[in-house]
Structure formats: structure tokens, C-alpha cells
Amino acid sequence: MAASPRAFVLRHTRLRAVPGMEGIRLHLADDLLPVWRALQVETDDPEAALPYWAAAWGGGLAISRHLAEHPEIVAGRRVYDLASGSGLCAIAAAQAGAAQVEAVDIDRFAAAAIALNARANGCRVDVTRRDALGDPPPDVNVLLAGDCWYEADLAARVLPWLRAAQAEGIEVLVGDPGRAYLPTDALIELAAYDVRTTSDVEDLAFRTARVYRLAEMATGAP
């Protein structure tokens, strides 16, 4: 019988400090591709998604660094971490003093990893597994979107959803290391960080990753 997602995460990762954010420890894979293969076998699904939850990605690393430097962005506020993966941004928000943190990811293995990681860091994070972009924007003050621009289909859905959230008064922070589908015209850079991702599937382990806010939409724009 297939193991639970929680058991799978524990078996295929190692709890270790995040490079550049040593105050956070995550269950991370030493090598992502063998874990991906194991996941395909475990789920009997050759199309299983890459185990994004087993790495700390550039976008999430930039947001986490930014929140550590500027805790006032989230302190005492309700925070939503879209496409949370390992839960890195959610945990950084909790450590920076957020009043409430919800982490959402479409992947059930991510949901298990986020719960384990929050616990390992002594943080309270509410975890939800769903397609966040199918819902209206959540009732929160701050929305974090770390490394969401790596696929065309996802990228096309994220920007309108983030804009809808911003139109409701939610402060949106995007973190990205220069992915192909990043809509730079729609973003305003706030900060840049040299980060080291833990993902061995990246062409560059060391990258500059940036934190952005959404530009205001011009009146009459679609």
C-alpha cells in the first residue's frame, strides 16, 4: 500500500537549515530527481509533478529574506502564502510576527511538507491543499507569491488573480529569480537578493532573486 504523503516526505528528505535563512529549517531533498522518480512510483503516476515542496526556490528565498529584513510588512497581520511548496514564505511570515498565516498549495505532498516544516520551526501555519486560483482572493492583509512564474499556464492565471486581490486592498508581494513567464511590465521591484536555491534542477544554484509589488493598473486597462 502507498505510504502517506507525510511518511513519503520524511523518508525522502532531510531536515536542514535554509541557505541564507539559517533560522528556518526545512525537510529538503539532497537531490530532487531521485525523489521525483520515487514519487512517480509511489503514486503510480508517470506525470506526477516535480516535488517542488522538497526545495527552497529562489522566489521564496527572496520573499523570506525581505520579510526578515522588514518584519513590519507582516507583523500582526493576516498572511496568505500562495503556492507555498515547502512552506518557506509562510514560515518566514510567522517568524516575522504575522498574526495568522495560511499556506496553500495544489499538491498534497506539499501540504504534508508544509505541516511538517511549520512544526519543525515551532510555527503555527494553517495548511490548505487546493487550486487557490479557482477561489476568490482570500480575506487577508498580505499575499505572498514565491516562484509562481515557471509555467505558462500557471503564469497566465496568477497575474489576474493577484490583481483581483490587490483591487480588494490586499498587499501583494511577488518573489522571483527571473523565470521565463515573469510579467515584469506589471511589477515594481522592491529589493534584490543573491540567493542559493537548494534545487539541483536549476541551471544556476546562485541567483539574484527579486521581490516585487504589483504596479497599479492603468485606468481602463483590461
Ligand X SMILES: C[S@@+](CC[C@H](N)C(=O)[O-])C[C@H]1O[C@@H](n2cnc3c(N)ncnc32)[C@H](O)[C@@H]1O
Residues that bind ligand X (CB under 6 A): 49, 52-53, 56-57, 59-60, 83-86, 88-89, 104-107, 110, 131-133, 146-147, 150, 154
The distance of closest approach from Cβ of residue 220 to ligand X in the complex, given in angstroms and rounded to an integer, is 29
Q: Which is nearer to ligand X, 54 or 77 (CB)?
A: 54
Question: End-to-end CA distance of the chain, in Å?
Answer: 50
> For the chain, where are the alpha helices, taking DSSP H only?
5-12, 32-43, 58-69, 88-95, 108-120, 152-167
**Measured between alpha carbons, how far is 26 from 118 in angstroms, rounded to an integer?**
8
Q: Which is nearer to ligand X, 180 or 221 (CB)?
A: 180
**Measured between alpha carbons, how far is 101 from 142 in angstroms, rounded to an integer?**
10
The distance of closest approach from Cβ of residue 89 to ligand X in the complex, given in angstroms and rounded to an integer, is 6
Q: Which is nearer to ligand X, 32 or 83 (CB)?
A: 83
Pick from 56, 76, 176, 77: nearest CA to 121? 56
The 10 Å Cβ neighbour count of residue 142 is: 20
Q: Which is nearer to ligand X, 69 or 131 (CB)?
A: 131
**Measured between alpha carbons, how far is 138 from 145 in angstroms, rounded to an integer?**
13
The distance of closest approach from Cβ of residue 218 to ligand X in the complex, given in angstroms and rounded to an integer, is 27
The distance of closest approach from Cβ of residue 164 to ligand X in the complex, given in angstroms and rounded to an integer, is 14
Question: What amino acid is encoded at 105 in this protein?
Answer: D
Q: Which is nearer to ligand X, 10 or 216 (CB)?
A: 10
The distance of closest approach from Cβ of residue 124 to ligand X in the complex, given in angstroms and rounded to an integer, is 19
